[in-house]
Amino acid sequence: MEEGTRIIITVVGYDRVGIIAGIANILADAGANILDINQTILQGFFTMSMVVDVGKMSVELTDLTRNLKNKGRELGLEINVQHEDIFRFMHRI
Amino acid sequence: MPFSISKDEIMETIHMVQDENLDIRTITMGVNIQDCRGENGKITGEKIYNKVVKSAGNLVKTGHDIEREYGIPIINKRISVSPVSMVGDGLPADDMIIIGRYLDKAAHEAGVNFIGGFSALVHKGFTAGDKALFEALPETLAQTGSVCASVNVGTTKAGLNMTAIAELGGIIKQTARLTKDKDGVGCAKLVVFCNAVEDNPFMAGAFHGAGEAESVINIGISGPGVVLNAVRKYPRIDLGELANVIKKSAFKITRMGELVGRVASSRLGVPFGIVDLSLAPTPSVGDSVAAILKAMGLEEVGTHGSTAALALLNDAVKKGGAMASSYVGGLSGAFIPVSEDEGMISAVTKGALSFDKLEAMTCVCSVGLDMVAVPGDTPEHTIAAIIADEAAIGMINRKTTAVRIIPAPGKEVGDWVEFGGLLGRAPVMAVNKFSSFDFIERKGRIPAPIHSLNN
């Protein structure tokens, strides 16, 4: 099976300064390209989903995931990294 | 290809994984070991060990990788092998025990918690290998930690081998005695089937069937929690609409299995076999099939209406799942193991679920009397008769049924058996006190039913 090269990063938590910057920096350092960002704040609660191309990335996906998870802990946010196929398979035929 | 998934859909998936225990229950690699025969148990065992470790060496690592990259938990990575009674045919029981030890060692080396296939297919009669395996069963189950055994005692086409069933009553009692310091846990690794399937990914009943390829990847999905939350969202809709809600959830759950199966198959270079659509519960709260039945409107599982509710659930899961996967197989039906489902345990302790009602419920779902603890002094003939009843249900209804029963040594009704982990804990259930001795002692074969003559 042909595996895609995009991942979905989701971030949920209380809004604060520097969330997007913190995450974008990690992605830039890894050579991952942000394709789309969708973000809302509902009563101070921050949710964001990000589509990222990791096809030309310079680090392993597992390392990127670990860095993002660490950042999440630092900022008090729940960060998930999942391959795009999981959403395409579940929600599209 | 543009990415067109909405944020709500993304959050729905994440909610399923994080709050509703959505996971892949097992990636099971089937390995053909029929070419591993040597002149004795040791040589055969060594060959099996080498082949299993070589074939499945990357299974656990690949599972972990997929888990991390896709963000979906894969609870178990397991191995099934060709029935040992066929591979070791002609060897004595002592050699079968040695083969069992090598299987255990191979499982340990590959990093899996269970390996299935210490099995015999005796629905029509015994080969010398089947007899030796029967003799070796109690010792093997007692001496090994990860070896799972299964025996097929009947099919719709062949009828029931009542001689085998009679013997298994004694084997189960003996296994319980040999593992009495652990509440008879050996019996939790032995499944007695009617209409066993060759591509079942779930333990303890998995084996790599004779019609299978050299090796294969089979996937067992999970997700009672997802279905439960979907059902809870609609407390007032009618049952036809509810079936539809369940179908949609089952579709989504199964798609995860299909995806993981395809990825695992391509990374391991092993053909993708099937996705098993069984809703498999675990002892954790919310991951319960019984809880779904309660959410459908039953005060407790086991009360009147339970069989009907389970029939609806089981059928809707299959209809939703069948659309989601290119190859559906295995057992594919809701599991109602007593010890592995907190809702089932609670129904037994409250007196809502009796042994007889449990048997009735197995007529409409997979798989049978699963992980049921009974008093330690239950006679072996009664255990054989329980197996015969369950196998008859499978034979007549053209479905797989199974019995995994634990006559817990020294325990009585109301006591508990504790196995821990995925095997859970179970209250000891009452069985009928009246004897089936003379019926079981007749032995022989129950002929295949008339509807098996469909050629």
Which of B10, B65, B263 lies nearest to residue A87, judging by beta carbons? Answer: B10
Which of A38, A65, A85 lies nearest to residue B259, judging by beta carbons? Answer: A85
Nearest Cα residue in chain B from A51: B3
CA distance B80 to B287: 25
- Are the beta carbons of A85 and B70 separated by less than 8 Å? yes
CA distance B332 to B291: 19
pLDDT of residue B266: 94
Mean pLDDT score, B96-122:
97
- Are the beta carbons of A51 and B3 separated by less than 8 Å? yes
Chain B contact present for A10, CB below 8 A: yes
- Are the beta carbons of B3 and A49 separated by less than 8 Å? no
- Are the beta carbons of B69 and A51 separated by less than 8 Å? no
Chain B residues within an 8 Å CB radius of A8: 5, 10
CA distance B100 to B83: 11
pLDDT of residue B17: 85
- Are the beta carbons of B252 and A91 separated by less than 8 Å? yes
Which of B13, B65, B265 lies nearest to residue A90, judging by beta carbons? Answer: B13
A45: closest CA of chain B, how far (Å)? 14
For chain B, domain boundaries: 26-194, 220-446
Name the strand (E) or helix (H) holding B408. strand B401-408
Chain A residues within an 8 Å CB radius of B256: 86, 89-90
CA distance B320 to B351: 33
Which of B12, B18, B68 lies nearest to residue A62, judging by beta carbons? Answer: B68
Mean pLDDT score, B264-268:
95
- Percent pLDDT > 90 in chain A is 40
As its CATH architecture, domain B26-194 has: Alpha-Beta Barrel (3.20)
Chain A residues within an 8 Å CB radius of B69: 61-62, 65, 83
As its CATH architecture, domain B220-446 has: Alpha-Beta Barrel (3.20)
- Are the beta carbons of A83 and B70 separated by less than 8 Å? yes
For chain A, domain boundaries: 6-91
- Are the beta carbons of B65 and A62 separated by less than 8 Å? yes
The model's pLDDT over B411-425, given as tens digits with 9 standing for 90+, comes to 999 999 998 777 888
Chain A residues within an 8 Å CB radius of B255: 89-90
Instruction: Classify domain A6-91 at the CATH class level.
Output: alpha beta
pLDDT of residue B158: 96
Top-confidence range, A25-29, B323-327, B381-385: B381-385
Q: Are strands B328-329 and B368-375 parallel, antiparallel or unpaired?
A: unpaired
For the packed helices A61-75 and B59-70, what is the interaxial angle rounded to 10 degrees?
50
Distances from the Cα of B361 to the Cα of A10, A36, A61, B351, B365, angstroms: 42, 50, 46, 16, 7
- Are the beta carbons of B262 and A1 separated by less than 8 Å? yes
Distances from the Cα of A82 to the Cα of A1, A88, B264, angstroms: 18, 11, 16
Chain B contact present for A42, CB below 8 A: no
Whether the per-residue pLDDT at B150 is higher than 80: the answer is yes
Identify whether the C-beta of residue B268 lies closer than 8 Å to the C-beta of residue B57.
Answer: no
Which of A40, A86, A88 to mutate to test binding with chain B, by most B CBs within 10 Å of its CB? A86
Which of A35, A80, A87 lies nearest to residue B9, judging by beta carbons? Answer: A87
Mean pLDDT score, B108-130:
97
B403: closest CA of chain A, how far (Å)? 34
The model's pLDDT over B201-229, given as tens digits with 9 standing for 90+, comes to 999 999 999 999 999 999 998 889 899 99
CA distance A93 to A91: 7
pLDDT band at A43 (very low <50, low <70, confident <90, very high): confident
pLDDT band at B367 (very low <50, low <70, confident <90, very high): confident
